[in-house]
Structure 1
Amino acid sequence: MSLQKKATVIASSVAAVLVVIKLFVGIVSGSVSVLASAIDSILDIFVSLFNYFAIHNAEKPPSEKFNYGLGKIEALAAVIEGLIITVSGIFIMYQGIMKIIHNKPVTHLGTSLIVMIVSIVLTGGLVLFLEYVAKKTGNLVVKSDALHYKTDLLSNSAVLLSLAIVYFTKFYAIDGFFGIAIAFYIIYSAYELIKEGILILMDVALEDETVEKIVQIIESTPKVTSYHFLKTRKAGPFNFVDVHLVFNPEISLKEAHDISDQVEKRIKQIDPDKRWEVTIHLDPTDDSCLHDTDGCSEGEK
């Protein structure tokens, strides 16, 4: 089992433990903050299971039906997870408003405080682990999961603070205000996640720093006179690069092919943890103007 798959299994297990504890205490105590946190943990389970499915399929090699693999399923999972986070934020906001309107008391405060402390410790450990896996693998799904649980960590801390205030002041409406504040933060944090997933689904280019390294490799390669039509995109664990390299017309096809192999090898070394698909077209002249809408001038033909 890959490291990223293990991460989703561990995340699901931690979420399941937290659901049982939070749901029981939230119902018994009547705290909207704890109950909202429990519902969020239920969503965490389904999201982590979906992420496992996404990673499992994204890691499959290209097939006859999916010639470029299923890497984009990671981006799709990130968008879906971001939307789920947003919906949970809206629900928490609604519960917070109802709490303020009805001002229902919170009971079993001592137990609720202990539960939230345990939740913060478990979630904090999980966030550190997921961030480690995301950094090591560069997996977008694990990265989104880490962000999700980081919002849980902050919301759990806010719940703990609100319970402490209620415990000492008996100002029950504060529970609702904190719930609304948590909801706004959750919705805001989901925006970047959805944005990144959509950009990948729309074939956004690789990061500027990576593209610049590719350009440096090409320009520093002997006997490559120029290049054009450099295009890049990413999909899950795959980085795609397409480029036309221009050689002197007198060069042999074998030598040009060998040089392009060297270029491909150096590009793949930019990030060995990624799976690169590099397609290089060999040109005897720079024919890029032939593909421009304005065509070529007389001197370029």
Structure 2
Amino acid sequence: MSNNKAKWIKISFILSIVLLFVKFYSFYLTNATSILTDALESIVNVVAASFASYSIYLSSLPKDDNHPYGHGKIEFFSAGIEGALIMVAGFFIIYQAIYNFFVPNELEMLLEGMALIGFAGLVNGVLGLKLKSEGKRLNSLTLEASGKHLMTDTITSFVLIIGVAIIYFTGLNVLDSILSILFSCYIIYSGYFLVRKSVAGLMDETNPEALKQTVEILNKERKDAWIDIHNMRVQQYGGDRHIDLHLTLPYYFELQQVHDEVEIVENALENQFDGAIEVFVHADPCIPEKCCHYCQLKSCQVRKFDQKSKIRWTANNMTKNQKHYHDLADDND
């Protein structure tokens, strides 16, 4: 998996260097500040791709004594750096656009410049879609962030072409600075979104999508003997996923039976996800006076109360640090 990540990041890095020269050559031909904004963002692409390559190398390293959960979190840091660089580029572009508003440039060869920017935007768009797709498949925030960045670059490039075309046909060179400022605001917003997502990962904020997938799998594989699952935690470390949960089983199960049921839960989760995954299951005994009311085990020989309901497992109740008989008590209040 790490080899696939490294391959796509290397492709992104090489193309970002080529397109950087294409865009700066376009600026050299046209002298348009709006095209300069696109070229400056390409510098960010090169820096981000190089840092992403190193972060993927680190994230692929095995666990060690100092990093018992692996090195996957470096991908969050990488995405945050990329977002911060995008924002810095956006603010610099605004400064340059305001300066050129008062000291305008003489624009030249706009048609040739538009053609070069269009070519660069098309390449970035195709690569961005692929990186975003591979990032989701491999659970790599670095690839996904790079893909979104390149797709943002594609959008700005083609909107830029429209703006430069308007300047070409109207002769209103002042639109160059206005267009640059509008692009910069969009770039800054895109960078902020990446930084926000990076901080969320570094702070172990709940990943709703990862949690939803885990709940769906457990509901699909649910066994009658799995009386309850609670105190579930799903954490994403780059491409690695860690799942902790408490599984309530019949109190009379022997140790081998408990081990077998725990192994079924672990296998059900590990076989459904791409990427590295660790599952830690803590087994709890049932409490007959309380768990019988929602226990699904029809063959139970020690049942003290009839089953009254079936607990629907959701992301909300499975993450609570309590067994589900509390929910039944709340419903009866």
Classify the TM-score, shorter chain: 0.7 to 0.9
Cα contact 1:78–1:140 (8 A) shared by 2: yes
Show the 5 A alignment for 1:93-132.
93-132=94-133
Distance 2:159 2:225 in 1: 61
Which structure 2 residues correspond to residues 1-301 of structure 1 after superposition, within 5 A?
2-207=3-208, 208-213=211-216, 215-216=218-219, 220-271=222-273, 273-285=274-286
- 1:252–1:37: structure 2 CA closer, same or farther, 3 Å change rule? same
Q: Are residues 31 and 210 of structure 1, via their aligned partners in 2, closer, same or farther at CA, if it must alter by over 3 Å?
A: same
Preserved contact between residue 230 and residue 321 of structure 2 (Cα < 8 Å): no
TM-score (norm. length: structure 2): 0.80
Query: What residue ranges of structure 1 are gaps of 5+ in the alignment?
Result: 291-301
Cα deviation digits, residues 118-175 of structure 1 (max 9, x gap): 2122222222322332243231111100111111111111221222122222211111
Question: How far did 1:289 drift?
Answer: 8.3
Structure 2: runs of 5 or more not aligned: 288-319, 323-333
Distance in 2 of aligned mates of 1:49 and 1:127 = 16
RMSD of aligned Cα (Å): 2.2
Alpha-carbon offset, residue 177 of structure 1: 0.9
- 2:309 corresponds to which residue? none
Partner SS, residue 230 of structure 2: strand
Q: CA deviation at 1:215?
A: 4.8
Aligned length: 288
Q: Could you say what secondary structure the match of 2:242 adopts?
A: strand
Indicate how the Cα distance of structure 1 residues 160 and 281 shifts in structure 2: closer, same or farther if over 3 A, else same.
Answer: same
Q: Distance in 1 between matches of 2:217 and 2:130?
A: 32
Pair 1:103–1:142, CA change in 2 (3 A): same
* % identity of equivalent residues: 26
Shift in Å, 1:28 = 4.5
Letter in 2 for 1:106: L
> Any runs of at least 4 consecutive aligned residues in structure 1 with deviations exceeding 6 A, and if so which?
none
In 1, distance between residues paired with 2:276 and 2:51?
A: 23
The one-letter amino acid paired with 1:198 is V
